[in-house]
Structure 1
Amino acid sequence: MSDLTQIIKAYDVRGVVPDQWDAEVARAIGAAFARVVVIPEWAHVPADGEPAEPADRPGIVVGQDMRESGDTLVEAFADGVVSAGVDVVRIGLCSTDGLYHAAGVLERPGAMFTASHNPAQYNGIKMCRAGARPVGLASGLAEVRRLAQEYLDSGFPAPSPTPGTVGHREMLAEYAAYLRALVDIRGIRPLKVVVDAGNGMAGLTAPAVLGDAAGLDPLPLDVVPLYWELDGSFPNHEANPLEPKNLEDLRAAVVEHDADLGLAFDGDADRCFVVDEHGDPVSPSAVTALVGLREVEREKAEGRTPTVIHNLITSRAVPDFLGAAGARVVRTRVGHSFIKAEMADNDAVFGGEHSAHYYFRDFFFADTGMLAALHVLAALGEQPHALSDLAEMYEPYVSSGEINSTVDDVVAARERVVDAYVTNPGGGEVEVDELDGLTVSHWDSHPQWWFNLRASNTEPLLRLNVEAADEDIMIKVRDDVLSLVRATTDEN
């Protein structure tokens, strides 16, 4: 029998098909999801306190990306759901934020079949409650895992005497119109933009939102497509823009076409990476600051005090800029379920992560790379300067990026760092917190630097992020910490 602890982790389902999971596992997860999340929420009460009018019967919305295993897994999952007496609305091929949009506007729980940026042999499920509210281990996923494992080990329960039905609905045009209504870029100066879909779902969403595929008004954009053909085998490069090698084609295309900027999306198109007119990457922290300032100013113009969320390994520039603009800035753990919860709890207008996930209150507190892209296009097109000039304003510090180290003993490696920087610090007083891993900060003194060291949830890895006021300091701190972490190990 499958061990579901190997594929159902903190935020979602993710594993190799069929080695780690298959149709039978998908059916068990569907049956468990229906009973744990969907049926108890049938009479869901919205956040404003007004009771929702329950539908005639409970239902969910299901979408999928272009992976070859998607159809088989979705059909089995739907079979498990309807066996519990719950209806399924299949919206077909979509991005993950397209699924969140459907779960939000239809006010139904949702399931998105995707493995995001993982290689072709993987697939997974991202689940949410009605209104696109997150489902993580602490908010229902652990119980889904437990019940699905019980079904696999001991047999499925008897089906409902009134099984659900499976229907279909096209949502792409509604999704595109929804985003366009949030950021109107029809009046900006003309821009040329290269969009690298990586053979992922942005090949479907980009022509709908940025072009005319959804029948919307034309935009002042000259869009150059790169790898828009949907292909779950990823024949050109992995759909993971976080890896620099996967941005090489986009960077070259921006220069070749003399474009104003480039956009790269991951496989399920919920993350957006940006490169400037020279093909140089713009850090997600800079994008967080740029987009966050736009949302902060809009919130203030409407007479509200804005709150913005950022995770603890974004640049210090994010709280610096947004705090100076009058925002209440809340720092949170890494991971979308944590930041979504903080977004909702704080009624935050915007949130950003180092991994290029961007969250919006106006998008059900969920993440959407395409809406972030519209904000970047608006910010660039509403003024005359090049993107490199804008980005420079929001990147005053130097960061290492995330560096992974494989270690034989995670606890011992971490203790070496604690001993050197916390127990017996040689470089002056530091601030220490353990909100997520170990964060050591020397930012209030000179030289200015901080680092975060976090353990992987699934592998014997330690992840290091360093930032400093200049490159020499960053390199010194980075190399010193890595030497402690890797005292008996090799680089991953």
Structure 2
Amino acid sequence: MAIDLTQIIKAYDVRGTVPDQFSPEVARAIGAAFARVVVLRAAGGGAADAATRPGVVVGHDMRESGPELVAAFAQGLTDAGADVTNIGLCSTDGLYHASGVLNLPGAMFTASHNPAEYNGIKLCRAGAAPVGQETGLAEVRELAQGYLDGELPEPAAEAGTVTERDMLADYAAFLRGLVDLSGIRPLKVVVDAGNGMGGYTVPAVLGTGAGLPELPLEIVPLYFELDGSFPNHEANPLEPKNLLDLQAAVVEHGADIGLAFDGDADRCFVIDERGAAVSPSAVTALVGLREVEKETAEGRESTVIHNLITSRAVPDFLTAAGATTVRTRVGHSFIKAQMAEHKAVFGGEHSAHYYFRDFFFADTGMLAAMHVLAALGGQDNPLSALGEMYEPYVSSGEINSRVSDVPAARARVHEAYVTQEGAGKVEVDELDGLTVSHWNDTPQWWFNLRASNTEPLLRLNVEAADQDMLDKVRDDVLALVRAQDPEQA
């Protein structure tokens, strides 16, 4: 059966089921294509000798299929004349760190929070710069498809080599150098790694596993055993059910804070001492202010990026602190592009991806967690009080509606809120879906309605100054979206 790479190579990464969609044969073809589209091209087409051969850094998460797929990918690279530095087990931000400090293109083998039967690749250029559909991934897919449909290209006159290198201690020391936790008050921290890579990185960064000085942190581990079958719960903290064990453990242990990482540990969710979730928008505001204040103290202006469905509190707090804020579409490729373009000091998303200029403009859940620990431990109030400072409004979270006719449902909402409301009563933009705002008048509310790229879904996010207005706007919009639709019957 022919393999169709359009099924697994999407806008930002590679992801599919192993081995039917994503096999060693596919990994080798993608490696060969990545070598030619990104690695060799950046090096001017190749190297005259071993001393100047271009290189790639490669790592993988705890999924059982990772080592075999990495070996096949590396074969495609070395056959093309590229050297490979294999750093083995790592988090996605660990791979970004290696790409940044080694100044090499990179490939992280992970399927993030997807179930055990999946694996994938996140690709980047040297310095952790993203590779997406518009920046080479479409060309990689086309070339790799040709290799699978015919024959792999002739190998280079001199094959590259594979070298193994452990970067965990370097990664931990790099992060410790960005946030000083040595002087904070003692904190009890429950960490749910979800059997993912947080179980590997947390002891190194927050403990003494990498030979670093001890911090005033008591870590209570949950599911630190690396197990790509995810025996306890999915490694996806965006789903509330996957936070239940952590929330219960925080209360049971009388902890100050809980941290939940996803499978590849590039996202981090925060739980307060009562067991309540702290919204990623509040974390974005808190961490953003810390980064802005640092820039201000050193006499520099700062820019912070946020996507359009983060809370209005984010630009409120940051502009009041003197920062420039830039609003983007949803999606890490858009955030990263804006981070680089504006040389932004920080960026945050509602999905708990946090991006740092000092971390190669890439996302790292661990560094965000360290900032929250520093903020909490640098004062005496509990996390619930700290979090409430940055959550002055109420929000619905993302509500999905499966509809049979997405354009028609969206048109009903546009008619009701834009056409009938009349010019001047609301502000409207279509940066990403339909955003309707009544924020500059009372009562304050806004909503965004976005279509899924892969399913017949409309995603609704609502924010308001009070719960009654939130309930009204949410219910009114959902009634329009779901009106007379057989999918809602």
User: What is the TM-score with the length of structure 2 in the denominator?
Assistant: 0.97
Q: Specify the alignment match of 1:50 in structure 2.
A: none
Residue aligned with 2:52, SS: coil
CA-CA distance at 1:19 after TM superposition: 2.7
Select the residue among 317, 322, 329 that pairs with 1:333.
329
Select the residue among 285, 301, 307 that pairs with 2:303.
307
CA contact (8 A) 2:14 2:121 kept: yes
User: What is the TM-score with the length of structure 1 in the denominator?
Assistant: 0.96
Q: In the alignment, residue 6 of structure 1 is paired with which amino acid?
A: Q
Select the residue among 283, 290, 312 that pairs with 1:294.
290
CA-CA distance at 1:207 after TM superposition: 0.2
Select the residue among 164, 170, 182 that pairs with 1:168.
164
Q: Confirm or deny that 1:284 pairs with 2:284.
A: no
CA-CA distance at 1:425 after TM superposition: 2.2
Select the residue among 183, 186, 193 that pairs with 1:187.
183
Deviations along 1:232-253, whole A, 9 cap, x unmatched?
0000000000000000000000
How does 1:134-213 map onto structure 2 within 5 Å?
134-213=130-209
CA-CA distance at 1:166 after TM superposition: 1.0
CA contact (8 A) 1:194 1:226 kept: yes
- Distance in 2 (CA, whole Å) between partners of 1:438 and 1:2 is 37
Q: Specify the alignment match of 1:65 in structure 2.
A: 61
Q: In the alignment, residue 19 of structure 2 is paired with which amino acid?
A: P
Q: In the alignment, residue 481 of structure 1 is paired with which amino acid?
A: V
How does 1:307-456 map onto structure 2 within 5 Å?
307-425=303-421, 429-456=425-452
CA contact (8 A) 1:441 1:451 kept: yes
CA contact (8 A) 2:107 2:122 kept: yes
CA contact (8 A) 2:404 2:487 kept: no
Q: In the alignment, residue 166 of structure 1 is paired with which amino acid?
A: V
CA contact (8 A) 1:406 1:489 kept: no
- Distance in 2 (CA, whole Å) between partners of 1:421 and 1:17 is 46
Residue aligned with 1:341, SS: helix
Q: RMSD across aligned C-alpha pairs, in angstroms?
A: 1.5
CA-CA distance at 1:155 after TM superposition: 2.0
- Distance in 2 (CA, whole Å) between partners of 1:55 and 1:427 is 65
Q: Specify the alignment match of 2:40 in structure 1.
A: 39
Q: Specify the alignment match of 1:112 in structure 2.
A: 108
Structure 1 stretches of 4+ with a deviation exceeding 3 A read 489-492
Q: In the alignment, residue 32 of structure 2 is paired with which amino acid?
A: A
Residue aligned with 2:130, SS: coil
Q: In the alignment, residue 37 of structure 2 is paired with which amino acid?
A: V
CA contact (8 A) 1:399 1:467 kept: yes
Q: In the alignment, residue 75 of structure 1 is paired with which amino acid?
A: A
Select the residue among 97, 117, 129 that pairs with 1:121.
117
Residue aligned with 2:112, SS: coil
- Distance in 2 (CA, whole Å) between partners of 1:40 and 1:395 is 47
- Distance in 2 (CA, whole Å) between partners of 1:72 and 1:443 is 53
Deviates more, 1:400-409 or 1:381-390: 400-409
Q: In the alignment, residue 271 of structure 2 is paired with which amino acid?
A: V
CA-CA distance at 1:362 after TM superposition: 0.3
Deviations along 1:354-408, whole A, 9 cap, x unmatched?
0000000000000000000100000000111100000000001111111111121
CA contact (8 A) 1:404 1:491 kept: no
Deviations along 1:272-316, whole A, 9 cap, x unmatched?
000000010000000000000000000011111010000111000
Q: Specify the alignment match of 2:129 in structure 1.
A: 133
Deviations along 1:194-230, whole A, 9 cap, x unmatched?
0000000000000000001000000000000000000
Q: In the alignment, residue 399 of structure 1 is paired with which amino acid?
A: S
- Distance in 2 (CA, whole Å) between partners of 1:303 and 1:341 is 25
Q: In the alignment, residue 36 of structure 2 is paired with which amino acid?
A: R
Q: Specify the alignment match of 1:24 in structure 2.
A: 25
- Distance in 2 (CA, whole Å) between partners of 1:307 and 1:192 is 33
Q: In the alignment, residue 30 of structure 1 is paired with which amino acid?
A: G
Q: Confirm or deny that 1:103 pairs with 2:99.
A: yes
Distance 1:174 1:489, change over 3 A: farther
- Distance in 2 (CA, whole Å) between partners of 1:88 and 1:485 is 51
Residue aligned with 1:479, SS: helix
Residue aligned with 1:75, SS: helix
CA contact (8 A) 1:254 1:278 kept: yes
- Distance in 2 (CA, whole Å) between partners of 1:434 and 1:383 is 41
- Distance in 2 (CA, whole Å) between partners of 1:346 and 1:319 is 16
CA contact (8 A) 1:422 1:430 kept: yes
- Distance in 1 (CA, whole Å) between partners of 2:157 and 2:59 is 26
